Chain A
Amino acid sequence: MTAAGKFVGRSVPRLEDRPLLTGHGRFAADISFPGQLHMRVVRSAVAHGKIRAIDAAPAQRFPGVHAVWTFADIMHIPPIGFRLTGLKQLEPYRQRILARDVVRYVGEPIAAVFADDPYRAEDAADLVEVEIEHRRATLLATEEPGFYDDERSTEPAIVQKGYGDLDAAFRAAHAVVSLELSIGRHSGVPLECRGAIARYDAERDVLEMHGAAKVPHWNRDQLAQMLGRTRESVQLYEGHVGGGFGIRGELYPEDVLVCAAALKFRKPVKWIEDRREHLIAANHSRQQAHKISAAIDVEGRILGIEDEFVHDNGAYMRTHAATVPDLAAAMLPGPYRVPAYRARGHIRLTNKTPCGTYRAPGRFETSFVRERLLDAIAAKVGVDRVEIRRRNLIAKSAMPYTLGLDTLGTHIVYDSGDYAGLLDKALAAANWATLQDQLKARRALGEKAGAGIALFVEKSGLGPFDTVRIEVDRDGGIEVVTGVASLGQGVETAMAQICADALGVDYARVRVTHGQTDRIDRGMGAFASRATVMCGEATRLAAVKLRATALAAAAELMQARAADLDIVDGEIIRAGGGPSMPLAALARALPGGLSAEDTFESSHMVYPYGVHIAVVRVDADTGAVAIERYLIAYDVGRAVNPMLVEGQIAGGLAQGIGGTLLEEFRYDENGEPLSVTLADYLMPTAREVPAAEIIVTEDAPSPLNPLGLKGAGEGGANPVGAAIASAIDDAIGTPGAVTELPITPQRLKALLK
């Protein structure tokens, strides 16, 4: 493929849009089967307690009710396993799909009602009487660990990472800078709530689950194992997915319940979550408290960093197991040289909703921590916030840079990057020096206005593989069958662009199939900003193979040398002119059709990086923060579709702003959740999100794939807390003032007192 592709690198319109714009999407709630039952989950209203009795009889007698299940009905089904970062010692903390005898958070499934109508299922669920003996709820993960049950502690594991001689670094230090910082409880909160529709086809002996997302193949295998079936007899189908952000598509208790029920009742079973359920039962994320110290030399160069943090994982260990604290510890050093490092992450369980990942998991948190630390070092040494970063950045000449830490089963090696170069570009675009003068002048007039900056390294393109099969239809359409998933990020368009360039067709003729386990035997799904990198290269490889196959076959039919043929706009042409042949005609002429399959394997991730600059104004009377300006510079190696990359960054920024200023899952002292509607869990609206200046650069293509791709999904969210915190410090003239996210008006007013 040539460097400047016909489609790759261009902001072509999305192939996904038309059905979504015309009301013809197929989201989970849009899928129905004749004779289906509707499931309603009876959830714990108590944060911690022992179940004394459950009286399901009144619900069972309610008109339209088919059955009511409690633990006894599903006791043969094991707990849901770990998809990533599974540590042996975490296994006893996994969640059963219905509570056995103890409930551990408000929202925990206790019983499931199956009825012929969703309204009646909900009515009947209200009639299920649950008697619970209350126990003390643990709500602060920062408390000393206590008992989870008779045998186990509320601290199942400590994630430990490090390298270098940290003690020597601190002994040699000119000064030590220490901070205590915390991040609140957030989640992705996609606009579509979860949903799952299971159906058993007795004739084929196949269990189908519709409404799958993110990781259909892993979920298929896990469901088969839990339900005692072969993997071939369980198939998952992804339709449209109303946002992912880490939370959607993980295997949850409700998914297993509908599948088990469909098998048992031999009827389709549909479950559509409501928003209150979503906010208390789907994964939360991010809640951490850090104590970090840096040993520095006289010029503020980092000699070593030690971080001890507590990760509140809620009531159970779900599919992500230790993933979030692991990433937090592994990605904390970011773009800076840290000669010695030690992180200890205490995984703690509390009586709150269990946790998983949320966009830039572990990194939204530790970018806040690291960049707060850099600001504190600057204040300690008495140099500018930008200068202190320059002194500590990893040099371009040091790439590839082996960090000396592992995460997600890979060694962290920053594959390429020019961190200082991107910092220069961002500062120039922001007109940083002039901006400082302007802000100084405004502050002199009594305004509380300031700017902040944050740098970060992202990770993306997690392997170990992706497989793609490409087939030419008899009418000339091209189908790309993948094992990834679409969460709205535009993966169909991006894959079509890559395929189109490598094969020689129009991208609009390419149809990308994803998330269908019966169409391709294996697949890794869409998480960790992996799809464009891994599936993109697999698509390119398969398309190159298909092109070679097509040209070899055409050479025979066209009586030419393959080397003298080319494929342009789906037409096989001769270099010297003369009769040509449509790709479709070739596919029709070949008895076995025209297709190719290839796999891309990679054992290392690829590392995009970026700079965020925020300009804010603080209203001292209300504690409100207005974001006047926001600039993001992000290097993605190679942008397949710049419009989509910018869309990812802009969307990530909005979520970052939410987590920084507005969003927080709060609980009362008994563990009763207080953020149970979208009027309590405040997400940014068009009023709160500024028009960001987004600079997508391609200065450091990844050497790990031929197109140089790196992922774009998480860089918009990653350091937003850090950048805005820094800007608020600057605005109110108090370095280090912000120590906690989100920075709500109440907290900011308290800081101003």
Chain B
Amino acid sequence: MTDITLTINGHAHAIRVEDRRTLADAIREDCGQTGTHLGCEHGICGACTVIVDGEPLRACLMFAVQADGKSIRTVEGLADGDELHPMQRAFMEHHGLQCGFCTPGFLMLAVGVLEKDPDISDDDLLDVLSSNLCRCTGYQNIIKAVRAAAKEMRGK
């Protein structure tokens, strides 16, 4: 067992974990932030995508101990109080979610990528979005939402 501190959305969580515990399990079970979802636990679906030190990555493929001391952002930290993040608002306006299970992963992926590369081309953005799976929407509304939010984020 190892003592670590996970800083999630600015809050420090001092937890004790087995070395094999995934970051996703630690975020969900030890820190109580269940907005990060597990869809495959083998790095394909991207539902567990979180932003670690500015990089969107899959929390099922990282051990919690590897994230010790790092800054982690999850879907719970996107909105500013009642004020939704432009990406969240765009998903609502463009019907970019149905069951909502893949949504936190898509939100964190898109936000993470656009913060790093606000002027990403449409085609590169499509490549990025094709790294996560959605089984409900057929993707087009997700793409529309992310493009709309990208425009708004650039404008800020």
Shortest A521–chain B CB gap in Å is 27
Q: Are B35 and A24 in contact (CB under 8 A)?
A: yes
- Tell me if B98 is interfacial: C-beta within 8 Å of chain A: yes
Indicate whether A21 reaches chain B with its CB closer than 8 angstroms: yes
Given A678-B133, A685-B130, verify A191-B99 contact (CB < 8 Å). yes
In the complex, whether A692 has a CB less than 8 A from a CB of chain B is: yes
Choose among B21, B84, B136 the residue with the greatest number of A CB atoms under 10 Å from its CB.
B136
Determine the chain B residues whose CB is within 8 A of the CB of A401 once the complex forms: none
Q: Is the CB of B133 within 8 A of A687?
A: no
Contact A23 B140 (CB under 8 A): no
A604 within 8 A of B: no
Decide if B88 is an interface residue (CB 8 Å cutoff).
yes
Chain B residues whose CB sits within 8 angstroms of the CB of A25 once the complex forms? 34-35, 100-101
Q: Which of A489, A646, A689 contacts B139 (CB 8 A)?
A: A689
Interface mask (B94-134 → A, CB under 8 Å = 1, otherwise 0): 01011111111001000000000000000000110111111
Asked if A21 and B41 sit within 8 Å, CB to CB, the answer is no
A692 to B21, CA, bound (A): 42
User: Given known contacts A23-B35, A687-B126, is B100 in contact with A240 (CB within 8 Å)?
Assistant: yes
Asked if A651 contacts B137 (CB within 8 A), the reply is yes
Cα A191 to Cα B134 with chains together (Å): 7
What 1/0 flags go to A15-43 for Cβ under 8 Å of B? 01110111111010110000000000000
Known: A20-B100, A25-B100, A650-B138. A275 touches B42 (CB 8 A): yes
Collect the chain B residues with CB atoms within 8 Å of residue A17's CB.
Answer: 91-92, 97, 100
Flag A660-694 by CB within 8 Å of B: 1 or 0 each.
Answer: 00000000000000000111000111110101100
How many whole Å from B73's CB to the nearest CB in chain A?
11
Query: Is B58 interfacial (CB-CB < 8 Å)?
Result: no
| Interface pair A21/B97, CB less than 8 Å apart | yes
Q: A188 to B34: give the CA distance in the assembly, Å.
A: 24
Q: A489 contacts which chain B residues (CB < 8 A)?
A: 98
Chain B residues with CB under 8 A of A646:
95
Report whether A29 and B84 are in contact in the complex, using a CB–CB cutoff of 8 Å.
Answer: no
Residues from 263 to 307 in A contacting B, C-beta threshold 8 Å: 274-275
Main secondary structure of the interface of B (DSSP, over half): loop
Chain A proximity of B13: nearest CB distance (Å):
16
Residue of A nearest to B85 (CB): A21
B7 in contact (CB, < 8 A): no
State whether A487 touches B99 (Cβ < 8 A): yes
Interface centre among A20, A243, A647, by most chain B C-beta atoms within 10 angstroms, is A20
Q: Which of A22, A30, A193, A647 has the most chain B CB within a 10 Å cutoff?
A: A22
Q: Report yes or no: A654 in contact with B139, Cβ–Cβ below 8 A.
A: yes
A148-176 interface (Cβ within 8 A of B): none
Give the residues in chain A near B18, CB-CB below 8 Å: 119
- Asked if A189 is at the interface (CB within 8 A of a chain B CB), the reply is yes
Selected from B35, B75, B129, the residue in CB contact (under 8 A) with A686 is: B129
CA distance A326 to B41 in the complex (A): 37
Contact size class for B?
35 or more
Docked CA distance A14–B97 (Å): 10
Asked if B14 CB lies within 8 Å of chain A CBs, one says: no
**Is B72's CB within 8 Å of the partner chain A?**
no
- Whether, in the assembled complex, B79 has its beta carbon less than 8 Å from a beta carbon of chain A, the answer is yes
- A191 touches which of B20, B76, B101 (Cβ 8 Å): B101
Q: Could you tell me the distance in whole angstroms from the C-beta of B92 to the nearest C-beta in chain A?
A: 5
Name B20-57 residues within 8 Å CB distance of A.
Answer: 20-21, 28, 33-42, 44-45, 47
A29-B28, A679-B44 known; A192-B39 Cβ under 8 A:
yes
Are the C-beta atoms of B76 and A488 separated by less than 8 Å? no
| CB-defined contacts of B42 to chain A, threshold 8 Å | 275, 677-679
Q: Mark A609-648, 1 if CB is under 8 A from B, else 0.
A: 0000000000000000000000000000000000110110
Q: Which of A457-481 contact B (CB under 8 A)?
A: none
The answer to whether A677 and B101 touch (CB under 8 A), given A21-B88, A23-B35, A687-B130, is no
Residues facing A in B134-156 (CB within 8 A) are 134-143
Q: Which residue from chain A places its CB closest to the CB of B42 in the assembled complex?
A: A677
- A2-21 contacts to B, CB under 8 A, are 13-14, 16-18, 20-21
B4 within 8 Å of A (CB atoms):
no
A24-B76, A650-B141 given; 5 more Cβ-contact pairs under 8 Å: A21-B107, A189-B135, A191-B45, A193-B38, A242-B99
